[in-house]
Structure 1
């Protein structure tokens, strides 16, 4: 089971059982804990998550919109296949929207959000002092992106980018064992986060674009 953290939450934020189920199942699908093409048993998931079937079913409906699960009449619900050919389409959108989110976060993040982003940067700098496996590094990748999206202050942009990042991360996880240096990819976040904290919007925008281009090149190199 993955130890990935949930989406960044504000202190004291209250979420419904359906929302928690959605986030938990979503991250299992993203990290391929639920394998592509695998049938999804809503009853078993409900037991594992400690909720009823209704929140799980509500979550699965949302995950179908996210293209992470697919339902067939009389057959059931399945994790979608990871389609490598989607990389170009996903990257095309991320090259436009990720820099926008970084730019907006640099200009508009609250003091509390800047503190969170700065702490995350310092934590990433210390990764070399302890053993973190590739899956653990992917958790940092998701945390960084989701934190920046939230700090951008536009819920529609945040929602769109989370969905795109989820699809990109599934592709990343599919080839994770072939990638020579995941740590190097994660280290790229430090300068990006520091630029946002320093309110250097132009630098943050440029570094976000560089990061997305680097990600796509890394994936293509191992395919």
Structure 2
């Protein structure tokens, strides 16, 4: 069985942080379906936290455009609108290459070794055997590893936000995509370019990856 990326629960600094991370992941993976009303009582119960941390988390998730609140109606998961793909890609096509280049230029030897190990792990995976959740977990894991390696917290936060929105679109249309394995397989080459400090190659591969994703989605819409 293919090992999944390490998803051990991090040490949260507050219950609100814990609620935020877990609700965010449910929204990203469409476990909370788009346009669904958010039941904060049920969420608090399932997360084993109080309603206050959940409400604080939902405020943060509204900034992330993952939920939306209406006066007297409540809070809902945002819809997944395909017209947003172009807007998201406009941002990612600029910032993903920047993060890849920066990671290749500034990451320490230990971080680069971890990225190389990650590339070797991906090479051993038969992506076609992964279910949707496992596939998405790998995709998120790789992108977040690159963002962290870029060592710019503001860039990292921004990219995570837009990668989350892109992942919701990916999840929605994954079943229609015939070559999704190629998209995930591109991660290996990108990680190796960064690990080898080939900044120009890393930048171009990251750009191609974002553009390829947008093209693949549009072909099945």
Same-fold status (TM-score > 0.5): yes
Structure 1 equivalent of residue 103 of structure 2: 105
Structure 1 equivalent of residue 190 of structure 2: 192
For the structure 1 residues 25 and 101, does the alpha-carbon distance in structure 2 shift closer, same or farther, using more than 3 Å as the test? same
Deviation at 1:43, TM superposition (A): 1.5
Deviation at 1:68, TM superposition (A): 0.4
**Counterpart contact for 1:8–1:146, Cα < 8 Å:** no
**Counterpart contact for 1:101–1:149, Cα < 8 Å:** yes
Matches within 5 A, 1:48-87: 48-87=46-85
1:93 & 1:43 partners in 2: Cα distance? 35
**Counterpart contact for 1:98–1:209, Cα < 8 Å:** yes
**Counterpart contact for 1:4–1:27, Cα < 8 Å:** no
For the structure 1 residues 115 and 48, does the alpha-carbon distance in structure 2 shift closer, same or farther, using more than 3 Å as the test? farther
TM-score of the superposition, structure 1-length normalised? 0.91
For the structure 1 residues 129 and 161, does the alpha-carbon distance in structure 2 shift closer, same or farther, using more than 3 Å as the test? closer
Structure 2 equivalent of residue 93 of structure 1: 91
Deviation at 1:129, TM superposition (A): 8.5
Which stretches of structure 1, 4 residues or longer, exceed 3 Å deviation after superposition?
A: 3-9
For the structure 1 residues 189 and 129, does the alpha-carbon distance in structure 2 shift closer, same or farther, using more than 3 Å as the test? closer
Deviation at 1:134, TM superposition (A): 2.9
Structure 2 equivalent of residue 26 of structure 1: 24
Range 211-220 or range 47-56, more displaced: 47-56
For the structure 1 residues 8 and 107, does the alpha-carbon distance in structure 2 shift closer, same or farther, using more than 3 Å as the test? farther
Structure 2 equivalent of residue 17 of structure 1: 15
Matches within 5 A, 1:1-223: 14-128=12-126, 131-223=129-221
Deviation at 1:147, TM superposition (A): 1.0
Deviation at 1:8, TM superposition (A): 9.9
Range 172-181 or range 128-137, more displaced: 128-137
For the structure 1 residues 15 and 106, does the alpha-carbon distance in structure 2 shift closer, same or farther, using more than 3 Å as the test? farther
1:5 & 1:76 partners in 2: Cα distance? 35
For the structure 1 residues 83 and 7, does the alpha-carbon distance in structure 2 shift closer, same or farther, using more than 3 Å as the test? farther
**Counterpart contact for 2:127–2:135, Cα < 8 Å:** no
Note the residue ranges of structure 1 that are not aligned, 5 or more in a row: none
TM-score of the superposition, structure 2-length normalised? 0.92
**Counterpart contact for 2:12–2:18, Cα < 8 Å:** no
**2:69 is paired with a residue of what secondary structure?**
strand
Note the residue ranges of structure 2 that are not aligned, 5 or more in a row: none
**1:127 is paired with a residue of what secondary structure?**
coil
